Amino acid sequence: MDLASPSCGCMSTTEHSPECPTGFIRNPHIARMDEDFLYHLGLGTKTHNLPEMFGDVKFVIVGGTPKRMENLAKYLLNEIKHKLPVGTQLSDLTGAADRYSMYKAGPIICVNHGMGNPSISILLHELIKLVHHAKCKNPVFIRLGTCGGLGVPGGTVVISDGVLNDKLNGEHEFKILGNVVPRPTKLDANLAQELKAVASPSDGFQTVIGKTYCADDFYEGQGRLDGAFCDYQEADKMRWLNMLQQRGVVNIEMESSMFAALTHNAGLKAGIICAAIVNRLNGDQITETKETLGEWQERPAKLLARYIRRQLGV
């Protein structure tokens, strides 16, 4: 069995098999199911009218925490001057599911993904099926997050133009039925440039483009010296960080390889914008005040809002 090949052989973005009319999913089993219930989102094809609820979605924004995503949705609602129907307000659309929180601001949904590749994987499977069931037209997926910077000061905004795994190649290795299935961690090059183009020298912060290293852990997996365990020395850590930097890595975080591999597999336009909250060449601990960290984390959202407004022409 060739697990790397799509199950319905449908790689075209213009022509798709009856099993995957949107092209976002490639799973012949889904079309044969009586109902597809997206368990972690608390939404189903029988219980909800997904095309009516989400058919207008153009931007799917994912980020770490529920609060940040709620605030982002409020901010974007205002930025795109979208008016919610009278008597309604932003609310978590995942209902009783209680794993992720999702807010809808007009054509934008903002959903939190938790920490790490396994958590974002579950969410993305369900979001990709959601845009498929809802028949969304060309939705753009963007991850907004925090990261450790490599040679850039805290507060720098980093737009990813590629993702490296722990073997330093541009793949995410999926473990499926006991097999290792590598899939490319490709992001949309045009989107990265479009996001960079909305940054301005008058922003008061720098925005850079570069490669992202995706780790499965915050401490030893990112070469930190301050975890509960550490069997290496400062010199070993610096050698590794310098080697990453020489490969073009500008930041380190924990969801990019899964995000890039799944969105690319779905044929979706996708990008990642993160705020660096520490320069790892100077240290490991994150000691900035809540206010400073809050302000830094608003920076990617500012670029995102400008990009979306430009796309919507508002």
Which residues are annotated binding-site positions for substrate?
Answer: 222, 224
The amino acid that residue 256 corresponds to is: S
Choose between 50 and 102: whose C-beta lies nearer to ligand R2B. 102
- Region 95-124 residues binding ligand R2B, contact defined as CB under 6 A: 115
CB atoms under 10 Å from CB of 176, counted, come to 11
Choose between 43 and 158: whose C-beta lies nearer to ligand URA. 158
| 255 touching ligand URA, by CB under 6 A | no
Neighbour-count burial of 181, counting CB atoms closer than 10 A to its CB (0-12 exposed, 13-18 middle, 19+ buried) = middle
Choose the one of ligand URA, ligand R2B, none that binds residue 115, judging by a C-beta under 5 to 8 angstroms depending on kind. Answer: ligand R2B
| 255 touching ligand R2B, by CB under 6 A | yes
Binding span for ligand R2B by CB under 6 A among 84-92, 188-196, 221-229, 248-256: 248-256
CA distances to 97, 163, 165, 269, 297 from 279, in Å: 37, 19, 20, 29, 15
Choose between 10 and 254: whose C-beta lies nearer to ligand R2B. 254
> Is there a contact between 102 and 113 (Cβ–Cβ < 8 Å)?
no
| 61 touching ligand R2B, by CB under 6 A | no
Binding span for ligand R2B by CB under 6 A among 16-24, 222-230, 249-257, 305-313: 249-257
Q: What CA–CA distance (Å, rounded) separates 31 from 94?
A: 23
Q: What is the DSSP code (8-state) at residue 85?
A: P
Per-position b or e across 41-79, b if 16+ CB within 10 A of its CB:
bbbebeebebeebbeebbbbbbbbbbebbbbbbebbbeb
| 161 touching ligand URA, by CB under 6 A | no
Q: What CA–CA distance (Å, rounded) separates 273 from 248?
A: 16
Q: How far is the CB of 234 from ligand URA (least distance, A)?
A: 16
| 75 touching ligand R2B, by CB under 6 A | no
| 223 touching ligand URA, by CB under 6 A | no
- Region 199-218 residues binding ligand URA, contact defined as CB under 6 A: 218
The residues of the shown chain that bind ligand URA, judged by CB under 6 A, are 146-148, 218, 222, 252-254, 277-278
